A and B are shown apart, each in its own frame.
Chain A
Amino acid sequence: MSALHLNLKVWRQKNQQSKGEFQTYQVEANEHMSFLEMMDVLNQDLIEKKKEPVAFDHDCREGICGACSMVINGKPHGPLSGTTTCQLHMRHFKDGETIVVEPFRAKAFPIVRDLVVDRSSFDRIIQAGGFISVNTGQAIDGNAIPIDKDTASKSFDAAACIGCGACVAACPNGSAMLFTSAKISHLGLLPQGKMEHTRRVNNMVSQMDEEGFGFCSNIGACEAECPKGISLENIARMNRGYIKASLLD
């Protein structure tokens, strides 16, 4: 097991109002650690020195919750494609390397502290989507509604979005179109969610604008950085729905 001596440049910021700055730290990690475990080592060290540990978001540490927001060397979730920060292992870094760690940046993701940003705007976009029409009561037979394989797969691919916000972090326009379109697609493609599709598109897009996210100019950084491989095809589907909604409502 080889040790890694790393130079970390980490963004430190006390709260939303204060002006942040980079601080440099030396950390000794090993190649089997995840990036977050390496950050834990740094924090343990800071605590022992009676200094303030670096605040960062994390929860599941298995790539499914979307909490671990960090921009590592200019890339949301770091250098490995299709991987969240918590699933990124230190063997992808070299001994002696300098690693720059910054928070996700977008006006609609205000910094709470250090690397923690407030992504509640995403929750409000999801809430704006409203309900889907399924009967309450006993769970119905999963196979009672026929759905063809391709549609089910497309919906499932969109549902893989973990709401991490890397798309917004990567987008030069601070746009949340990839996230919103993934949420819209995974419901709108299935019979249970199709009925409210147009209204849902309208409401979610309005909420997205209200939160202060930018508009998509089809740059494609979001798709490249999304840890779950969400496709730009979803944005086109949302645009179609939005045009339909503008023409009909």
Chain B
Amino acid sequence: MSLSGLFLIVFLLIHLLGNLQLLKADGGQAFNIYGYFMTHNPLIKMVSYGLYLFILIHAIQGTLLWLKNRSAKGSSYAVNSNAGTNMFSRYMMHFGIIIFIFIIIHMIQFWLKMKMGVLDQVSYDGVDHTVANLYAPCQLAFSNIGYVLFYVLSMLILAFHLNHGFQSAFQTLGWNHPKYNGLIKIVGLLYSILIPLGFAIIPIFMFLNK
């Protein structure tokens, strides 16, 4: 759980750095070249299959954990004080399901199109091969206000999931030390706000610039 979660945390950072190229005002050139690189480099291909596996492992483990813990509680109280808890930690499973649905829709929207080869090919100066125009479906999707809202809301949920997940992973691995706990909390909070915010800015920016 913690290892797959931390792997996904590293992945998100790299994924965001790639996506930020969508903000470049070059008609999608940098992003498309990056997209070609990501789908043709053998090392990246291997890592990406690892990634799909990790998402599945994380989702399955999380679901099993949640089911086991619900049955271990058995019955519930008439009065709940929820002292010492927060809504982030109590709804990890619910956030996870929303993130999972988002990932599926997201993959159908972009990944599947890339894989099926239905995208137009474009060529750029200084590149000796054509590259698929992945920028086009992004532009299309993000000109739809409904999809932009769905994307931004999903990022909010991701922020909630990470707010607890980041520090939780450290505790699960036994990395708890009074000297560093404050640092882990602050880095986790910054990460869980900045990364989803970075992702959310892209569709908003593209919607406003369509």
Chain A residues within 8 Å of B, Cβ to Cβ: 9, 22, 71, 73-75, 100, 102, 105-108, 170-175, 212-225, 232-233, 235-241, 243
CB < 8 Å A-B pair total: 109
Query: Is A74 a contact of B77 with CB atoms below 8 Å?
Result: yes
Asked if residues A224 and B69 are in contact (CB atoms below 8 Å), the reply is: no
B72-101 contacts to A (CB < 8 Å): 72-85, 89-90, 92
Instruction: Assess whether B69 is in contact with A172, with CB atoms less than 8 Å apart.
Output: yes
Whether A218 contacts B164 by the Cβ 8 Å rule is yes
Q: Is the CB of A220 within 8 A of B73?
A: no
> 1/0 contact trace for B47-79 toward A, CB 8 Å?
000000000000000000100110111111111
Minimum CB–CB distance from B206 to chain A (whole Å) comes to 36
Residue among B76, B83, B176 making CB contact with A105, cutoff 8 Å: B76
**Chain A contact surface mostly:** mixed
- Is B144 on the interface with A (CB-CB < 8 A)? no
B109 close to A (CB within 8 Å): no
Tell me whether B171 is interfacial, beta carbon within 8 Å.
Answer: yes
Which residues of A have CB within 8 Å of B81? Answer: 73-75
On whether A174 and B172 interact (CB within 8 A), knowing A105-B77, A217-B92, A223-B84, the answer reads: no
- Interface: B42 (CB within 8 A): no
Contacts A/B (CB < 8 Å), 12 sampled: A75-B81, A100-B79, A107-B72, A170-B83, A173-B72, A174-B73, A215-B65, A215-B69, A220-B84, A221-B85, A233-B176, A240-B174
- On whether the beta carbons of B74 and A174 are closer than 8 Å, the reply is yes
Interface residue? B154 (CB, 8 A): no
Knowing A170-B83, A220-B89, say if A233 contacts B178 (CB, 8 Å).
yes
| Interface assignment of B29: CB less than 8 Å from any CB of chain A | no
Interface residues in B107-157 by Cβ distance below 8 A to A read none
Residues of chain B contacted by A108 (CB below 8 angstroms)? 72
Complex Cα spacing A106 to B71, Å: 9
CA distance A219 to B65 in the complex (A): 14
Interface readout for B161-181 with A: 1 if CB under 8 Å, 0 if not?
000100110011111101000
Residues of B within 8 A of A (CB): 65, 68-69, 71-85, 89-90, 92, 164, 167-168, 171-176, 178
Question: Min CB distance, A23 to chain B, in Å?
Answer: 13
Identify the closest chain A residue to B181 (Cβ): A233
Chain B nearest Cβ from A203, distance in angstroms: 18
- Is A174 touching B72 in the complex (CB atoms < 8 A)? yes
Nearest residue in B to A211 (C-beta to C-beta)? Answer: B72
Q: Are B171 and A236 in contact (CB under 8 A)?
A: yes
Instruction: Verify A221–B73 contact, CB threshold 8 A.
Output: no
Chain A residues within an 8 Å CB radius of B171: 218, 232, 235-236, 239
Q: Does B168 contact A217, Cβ atoms closer than 8 Å?
A: yes
Tell me if B72 and A175 are in contact (CB < 8 A): yes
Residue contact B72 to A213, C-beta cutoff 8 Å: yes
Task: Report whether B82 and A221 are in contact in the complex, using a CB–CB cutoff of 8 Å.
Answer: yes
Closest to A9 in B: B78
Q: Is the CB of A219 within 8 A of B72?
A: no
CA distance A174 to B69 in the complex (A): 7
Q: Which residues of A contact B82 (CB under 8 A)?
A: 74, 221
Inter-subunit contact B176/A102 (CB<8 Å)? no
Contacts of B71 in A (CB 8 A): 107
- Asked whether A106 lies within 8 Å of B74 as measured between CB atoms, the reply is yes
Residues of B within 8 A of A106 (CB): 72-74
Q: Is the CB of B69 within 8 A of A173?
A: yes
Q: How far is the CA of A223 from the CA of B89 in the complex (A)?
A: 14
Closest chain A residue to B83, Cβ basis:
A224
Q: Which residues of B contact A221 (CB under 8 A)?
A: 82-85
Those 6 A-B pairs whose CB atoms lie nearest each other, nearest first = A224-B84, A214-B72, A240-B174, A236-B176, A74-B79, A173-B69
